[in-house]
Structure 1
């Protein structure tokens, strides 16, 4: 099981992450609405722990956007907003459960277990381009059925490009999304990842090509059989 915690307090992120990992689950953490939206764009999670008071927006906006995209991932809201009308607003926006701060770690884990038990199995769609298949649920890229030995960052780059198949992905967008996922990343580092990725795809061959659109960004296109 893999969880996402969206919380602006670094200390609370640390404490909750420790509790979650001790319970045997994996967890990723972000501290803003923009980071949450970027991560959810490229990754699938079994459950989301969502704070509402984020520095760059309201967590309810993140929740509403998630539900508009028909993403049914269970969401447990963690917030200091304890008034009944605020709890109702969170549930009406699509939250599956609501836990006010401060909370007991035992209760937190119990609520997570309850949500995971009743959560439907939601399979993220497999992305395809040429002979490539990217399975978000398994975090695997395969070519002719063989899993490609990509690093996590190479896989992230390829997934972003596959989602924009046939369209140019602006360099600034790729840089922002990768920075949100993996810390600050320079343009030179992105170019290096793309160079390595091109070599691995050519060795398949995958039936796709990554083109550099000078001054704009990058384009993944199918090259045919």
Structure 2
């Protein structure tokens, strides 16, 4: 049954109501996999020009909402809370996402999961108007080893800063971005892999954009 649910064709994705056949304790993991499949399918439609980017994002949000209707949060294992939080985040249900991410961070599976979920928690806090808390939460990732720092600047620059900027904490936000730049500069990647090569090829681009943001923030102080 799990295999059948995961089979999707190019440009197609499963009906979220099919989750009703899956035991609740397994449902979150399957729901998250279905979301990834749906996202890939909608990406194909976007790349073919069949839908706009706005339509793609809206369909992903709608699909996420339907998935959530079929999952009982109370029965989601602690190990899968981060997946539930991710679907909440995509659905822009920030209050619930914040609460769930705090729960997930009680037992992250590994360092990468801790970094990712901490940054997502900071994003949720920012959307919930907790700007100072968001900055402090994001800083908790700065102690990551060089091999684990890759997500930090991108999250700070593109997901957290746009929400926090202009809400009376620009000086602290500028300091956060500076710290994230330092993390990005020291990130170690495997240049033998395509992922590592891509990261390294655009590293300076993201750093320059972040430096420009710091200048803008400090110019307003």
TM-score normalised to the size of structure 2? 0.26
Q: Is the helix fraction higher in 1 or 2?
A: 2
TM-score normalised to the size of structure 1? 0.26
Higher relative contact order at CA 8 Å, sep ≥6: structure 1 or structure 2?
1
